[in-house]
Amino acid sequence: MIDLAEKVLKGDVRAIARAISWIENNRPEKENLIDALFPHCGNAQVWGITGPPGAGKSTLLDKIIEIERRKQKKVAVIAVDPSSPFSGGAILGDRLRMQSHATDEGVFIRSMASRGHLGGVAQATSDAIKVLDAAGFDLIAIETIGVGQTEIEVVGLSDIVLLVLVPGLGDEIQAMKAGVMEIGDIFIVNKKDRDGALKLRAEIEYVLGIQFADYPEKMKPIVMTAASMNEGIEELLTVTDDYFLKISMNRSLQDKRKTRLKSEIRQIFTQKVSAHVKQKYDFENRLDEWVDAVYKKKKRPYSLINEKINLFLRECNWL
């Protein structure tokens, strides 16, 4: 295991790929692996790229990689696509649009299936970011699955969120709603050559204008692009550079990263506690028994669980 961590730190591609698989498959060794890599994390910029299906996230990313590579930056991509709720399988097709970088040593692209996780990314995404960060990539881009209105988990994983929108999906009331529309740090109107692109821009401006009426300095940038024609990408990257500079200077980057750690630690804690308690009760095997009792109305759901939990706490001498 330590061996694998050392190889990852040296940037060995096979080791990086294998490490991500360990995380995806939730192998017990992953804990030591992540702990071994963790001291080396924190150097990469993490970008979240999100937006509805077909907005052009992968194509945009393809062009971003091209320009970042000219600046000699090493770029890694985690591209998340949905797993089938029926078979558990997945078609991971995002890298199709980025395949021109397949033989570039400075680019690492990994497709990741959501495996039932609902927030627009996979359970494994946050630890996979750590692997890539420790391996020395300068920029790590997380491409979410095509999102609807509530898949916003990427905001907790990234330093900056690029929200990619396209004309034709609704009026400004859609843009005012809670959820995805609130998480963009930079708004991108892609496919700007299409009808309705200027209208969409005006709608976003209108909505953000209301939101930031009292703090115009916090107004979020809107960039028009046509990724497939390679238009607007340089401008976008100037905007992201400025944004990154700004959040580094005013310490909101540090705050974001600390918040990220907080939710990770909370999650690990909750998972571990829950796993221990479940094991103690042989939960998965006895669940049917409990369901049966509740179904037949011999037990009530809250009293049953409270009874079991109290029993557990008493055994631990906590009560």
Name the CA dihedral angle for 234, 239, 245, 250, rounded to a multiple of 10 degrees: -170
Q: 14 or 300: whose CB is closer to another protein?
A: 14
What is the per-residue binding string for another protein in 115-154, x denoting contact by CB under 8 A?
x---------------------------------------
Interacting residue with another protein among 33, 75, 113, 226 (CB under 8 A): 113
Residue 88 interacting with another protein (CB under 8 A): yes
Backbone φ, ψ for residue 141 (5° rounding): -105, 130
Other residues' Cβ atoms within 10 Å of the Cβ of residue 293 = 14
Using the minimum distance from each CB to another protein, give the nearer residue, 24 or 68. Answer: 24
Tokens 């008493």 belong to 314
d(CA 135, CA 159): 18
Instruction: Please give the order of strands across the beta sheet that includes 222-224.
Output: 107-113, 75-81, 139-143, 45-50, 160-165, 186-189, 222-224
275 belongs to the binding site for another protein (CB under 8 A): no
The answer to whether residue 317 forms part of the interface with another protein (CB under 8 A) is no
CB of 77 to another protein, least distance (A): 10
Q: Supply angle C-alpha 84, 88, 92, rounded to 5.
A: 60
> Does 285 contact another protein by CB under 8 A?
no
- For residue 27, the Cα-to-chain-centroid distance in whole angstroms is 21
How many of the chain's residues bind another protein (CB under 8 A)?
A: 30
* Span interacting with another protein, options 92-100, 155-163, 174-182, 253-261, rule CB under 8 A: 92-100
What is the nearest approach in angstroms of another protein to the Cβ of residue 132? 11
Subset of residues 13 to 32 that bind another protein, contact rule: CB under 8 A: 13-14, 16-18, 20-21, 24-25
The least CB distance from residue 20 to another protein, in Å, is 7
308 Cβ contact partners less than 8 Å away, ≥ 6 residues apart:
281
d(CA 60, CA 56): 6
From the CB of 194, what's the least distance to another protein, in Å? 24
Q: Given the rule CB under 8 A, which residues bind another protein?
A: 13-14, 16-18, 20-21, 24-25, 83-84, 86-93, 95-96, 99, 102-103, 108-111, 113, 115
